[in-house]
Structure 1
Amino acid sequence: MPGRVAGKVAFITGAARSQGRSHAIRLAQEGADIIAIDIAGPVKSVTGYPPATEEDLAETVKEVEALDRRIVAHKADVRDTTGLRQALDDGVAQLGRLDIVCANAGIFQTSPALELDDAGWQETIDINLTGVWNTAKVALPHLIANNGGSIIMTSSLAGLKALGNSIHYNTAKHGVVGIMRSLANEFAQYNIRVNSVHPTTVNTIMIQNEQVWGLFQPDNPHPTRESAAPVFQALNALPIPWVEPVDISNAVLFLASDEARYITGVTLPVDAGAFIR
């Protein structure tokens, strides 16, 4: 039986690990070929966790190829429109088309508002907001040439309601919704659908690090994954501390597939009920 996105090509940013790798694998399982990009190298960052590596990106390639799907992978930074466009154009040249765009690359860094420095603000805005726009900008000409496609932007629960100590993150993720709705309106005439997904905490390095555990337990001098879990769970209506990357990937797959052919301009929470809590 053909897969749900058989014969399609998906462009995924932040594809070296975590949600991005999960999206690549899940779409490949359903028949898509993949154009994968990630910064994948040593960079100075204000986050509390290490960046993805070339080895991480190579592992994504290995896992997609194990599914007998084609993948073109490049190192590129979503803040660099020229490099991003070159990576995508090469992928399209090799794979022949573009149907699906997953603007997934992002970072998470926390700080009380009045302790947030300029570097922390700018890095988060540049990657989580401008990087999403850059991804869409370089992809849209290919989707127009293809007579349509689906763009899925990764926002957050923080794109629907504000989380504490994260003004820069909240601002960027709310801004993603503005980009999504604007593009959904403007490019519907080309049969291009644009939607956003809004995860609660996801079991990846983005939340599973000491900085974030400490944010949720400010009175605990030695926070751990185990001690943080009940606090994470308190965010959600369902009795779980976090969802898994594949839970987001299943939503991405649905929005990318023809099952969602008339769904556009939608903010889709995958949040264990955190938004309604």
Structure 2
Amino acid sequence: MGMLDGRVAVVTGAARGQGRAHAVALAAEGATVVLADIVDQIATVPYPLSTRADLDEAVAEICAAGGSAIAVETDVRSSESVRELFDQVDARFGRLDVLVANAGICAFSEVDAISDEMWSDMIETNLAGGFRCIRAAVPLMKRGGFGRIVAISSGAGRGGMRNLGHYSASKWGLIGLVKTVALEVATAGITANVVCPTTVATPMVLNESTFRIFCPELEHPTLEDALPRFAGLSPMRVPWVEPEEVTRAVMYFVGAAHTSGAVLEVDLGSSANRT
């Protein structure tokens, strides 16, 4: 028996990377998991986003392991799209127990070069998208008297980072939002917490556009070129963590009944430099 037998979970940005790892772990603990993802490209994102094939593959992976999962195409930038997602969850399952607000994008630019479109896509996806999902999830969780909300922020939500003003703003804002939610639902059987990962080995990071930021002197930098640059960012001198490392933090919050309003940093020691 798993700790989530009979529970229903929604994971956004679940087609690949961190979101898929979180969905797989939730399903392994017995939850029926709704995997939501945009499966489309956003113009201001400099790397390929997930596809419908990625989303279907994630669902197939869970089902092949004996779990239960469905896929729903969702654009968290759209209130209508988010509302349709949670209406479908309610109509099909009649409950919602876990939300992992993971959907997010990244792009690099100095602040004075960030366009209105870049700013809007970043904030609408990473911050407003999380807000829309939490807003839709809370009434369903209140009705059931149980809920676990986990939002995925970032180490960039705990300290400034060059070329990431819009990204950092979105991730800092997410922390403030979730702390407020934790207070508002504190007596309803619902917890709300945040995980702040360091660099994670996902397509968001492992792409040439990111490598160029870290190796600006190279025309076509490779993973091997960028690896020592990433390693230099952390006290542990490790370039990144795997998605499953972040998932362990997510699952801690999912299983903790009396931890709420907390931020857990999975950051290769970088939090030691922050107050």
Give the match for residue 266 of structure 2.
270
* 2:183 paired residue among 179, 182, 185: 185
1:7-27 residue CA offsets vs partner (Å, 9 max, x unmatched) = 221111111111111111111
Give distance in 1, aligned partners of 2:42 and 2:141: 34
> Shift of residue 139 of structure 1?
0.6
Written as runs of structure 1 = structure 2, the 5 A alignment for 1:14-163 is: 14-41=13-40, 43-163=41-161
Contact 1:35 1:88 in 2 (8 A): no
> Shift of residue 275 of structure 1?
2.4
> Shift of residue 245 of structure 1?
0.6
1:103-126 residue CA offsets vs partner (Å, 9 max, x unmatched) = 000000000111111111111011
Give the match for residue 216 of structure 1.
214
1:38-96 residue CA offsets vs partner (Å, 9 max, x unmatched) = 1113x342122111111011011101111222222111110112221222221233234
Written as runs of structure 1 = structure 2, the 5 A alignment for 1:184-263 is: 184-257=182-255, 260-263=256-259
1:141-183 residue CA offsets vs partner (Å, 9 max, x unmatched) = 1000110211000100001111111100010000001101110
What secondary structure sits across from 1:228 in the alignment? helix
Contact 2:99 2:148 in 1 (8 A): yes
What secondary structure sits across from 2:196 in the alignment? strand
Give distance in 2, aligned partners of 1:270 and 1:166: 19
CA RMSD of aligned residues (A): 1.2
TM-score for both structures, normalised by structure 2: 0.96
Contact 1:100 1:149 in 2 (8 A): yes
What secondary structure sits across from 1:150 in the alignment? strand
What secondary structure sits across from 1:74 in the alignment? strand
Give distance in 2, aligned partners of 1:222 and 1:275: 32
Amino acid at match of 2:105: I
Relative to 1, partners in 2 of residues 1:40 and 1:107: Cα closer, same or farther, differing over 3 Å? same
Contact 2:199 2:205 in 1 (8 A): yes
Contact 1:238 1:273 in 2 (8 A): yes
Amino acid at match of 2:223: R
Amino acid at match of 1:269: E
Q: Unaligned stretches of 5+ in structure 1?
A: none
Give distance in 1, aligned partners of 2:239 and 2:3: 30
Give distance in 2, aligned partners of 1:114 and 1:149: 41
Contact 2:13 2:103 in 1 (8 A): yes
Amino acid at match of 2:23: A
1:7 and 2:3 are equivalent in the alignment = no
Paired residues in the alignment total 273
TM-score for both structures, normalised by structure 1: 0.95
Q: Unaligned stretches of 5+ in structure 2?
A: none
Report the identity percentage: 38
Give distance in 1, aligned partners of 2:81 and 2:195: 26
> Shift of residue 227 of structure 1?
1.1
Amino acid at match of 1:93: A
Contact 1:48 1:210 in 2 (8 A): no
Give distance in 2, aligned partners of 1:188 and 1:45: 39
Give distance in 2, aligned partners of 1:231 and 1:262: 39
Amino acid at match of 1:268: L
